[in-house]
Amino acid sequence: MKKLFLPMMVLLCFPAMAAEINPTDPKATKETVSLYRNLLKLQHLGLMFGHQDDLPYGNGWIYEDGRSDVKDVCGDYPAVYGWELGHLELGARYSLDSVHFDKIQGFIKTVYQRGGINTISWHFRNPLTGGTAWDVSSKEVVASILPGGIKHALYLQYLDKLADFMLSLKSDDGKFIPVIFRPFHEHTGSWFWWGKNLCTADDYKALWRFTVKYLRDTKNIHHLLYTYSTDRFNTLEEYVERYPGDDIIDLLAFDLYDRGADFPDILKNCAGIVSKLAAEKNKIGAMSETGGPIAKETQWWTKTLLETLRPFDLAYVLVWRNPAHKPEAAFAPYKGHPSSDDFIKFYNDPKTLFQKEISQMNIYK
């Protein structure tokens, strides 16, 4: 096994360090409070690696028990696991990425039991037009689902399904499994119906506030940490323009994909702004989605991603999914991938944290 023991000792030796800092939900469960406080400390010790849909499928395989493309390459699972709930709102059996929701429930439990971290995104359908999350044909969607709007009742039905799913996430001892929930993401862009040019800043904030209040106070869900997650931005002002409030947001994050030579500079700027703001606000910073041209730039993991993020204190970086039948679209390496050697270096670097290390930290205690 690689490195570590230092982070674990720090967590064990200084349990009081973040003891008074709580997540935003005053009724957050004990395990959720522990996760929050441990993430607050952990972000100064290392950078966890995350992968979207790591366990249900990977390049060339679907539903193989215990398999993970990341594990096939470096011998260890990620520390953070991303899940997607798009189409849950329709009452479908499987997600828009063809993963069965009952499987996702099982995977979330597996991850929790091995001491890993689950984060959920939701590319839910456009409630006004019936189109996909990418249907940006109307600027009225967000207003239409707020209280008083013509689609408010439909939105409540969506949220009720979401709430049922969240409330089904329990471990064997009956405790709710804490989850990092990241809705309405990449809103500094305009490709989702909740994006910047599709609604006013006030309506975006109102949507967030209504949603958190409904899940937390009406549905009594107290095992979620909420993530505010932009796409690329240039300034602090731009980052916080649609920030819905310190009283409902636990993680400050951003999504940023490598789309060219300016990526390291943009990443440096975004990571600097977010990590500084998170430290000032006693919140957790993260890079909630990324991906790079790893087949061409085979040293992308160490030379681009890690070297750029090294100076910053962020809790995790998550790369997007590896579609089962589209090797060129994989954002993580898989067995035999040209970036595998470099990914192993990335794995062995003292800065990065994977499952084995996180498991030793007891982050839910």
Binding footprint of ligand BMA on the chain (CB under 6 A): 84, 86, 96-97, 123, 320-321
Smallest Cα–Cα separation from 177: which of 81, 94, 252, 247? 81
Nearest-CB residue to ligand BMA? 84
CA distances from 157 to 56, 105, 161, 164, 180 (A): 27, 20, 6, 11, 22
For the chain, how far is it from start to end, CA to CA, in angstroms?
A: 23
3-state secondary structure of 236: helix
Tell me, yes or no, if 280 is annotated catalytic.
Answer: no
CB of 189 to ligand BMA, least distance (A): 12
Q: Single out the catalytic residue among 31, 84, 89, 289.
A: 289
- Give yes or no for a contact between 119 and 180, defined as CB atoms under 8 angstroms apart: yes
| Least distance (Å) between residue 353 CB and ligand BMA | 24
The amino acid at residue 173 is: D
Q: Cα(97)–Cα(183) distance, rounded to whole angstroms?
A: 17
186 labelled catalytic? yes
By beta-carbon proximity to ligand BMA, the closer residue of 122 and 233 is 122
**Shortest Å, Cβ 360 to ligand BMA:** 31
Do 263 and 293 touch, CB atoms closer than 8 A? Answer: no
363 close to 34: Cβ distance less than 8 angstroms? yes
Alpha-carbon distance 314 to 331, whole Å?
Answer: 20
Q: How far is the CB of 184 from ligand BMA (least distance, A)?
A: 14
Shortest reach from residue 323's CB to ligand BMA, in Å: 7
And the tokens for 5?
A: 């023991």
Q: One of 84, 89, 186, 357 is an active-site residue; which one?
A: 186
* Whether 119 contacts 289, CB under 8 Å: no
Rounded-to-integer distance, Cα 289 and Cα 70, Å? 16
Nearer to ligand BMA among residue 81 and residue 364 (C-beta)? 81
Distance of CA 148 to the CA centre of its chain: 31
- Candidates 82, 176, 169; CA nearest to 121 is 82
Nearer to ligand BMA, 315 or 319 (CB): 319
CB-nearer residue toward ligand BMA: 84 or 203 = 84
Residue closer to ligand BMA, measured from CB, 23 or 292? 292
How far apart are CB 53 and ligand BMA at their closest, in Å? 8
Would you give the DSSP letter of residue 150?
A: T
Instruction: In whole angstroms, give the CA distance from residue 153 to residue 213.
Output: 16
**Is the Cβ of residue 51 or residue 321 nearer to ligand BMA in the bound state?**
321
Q: Which residues are catalytic?
A: 186, 289
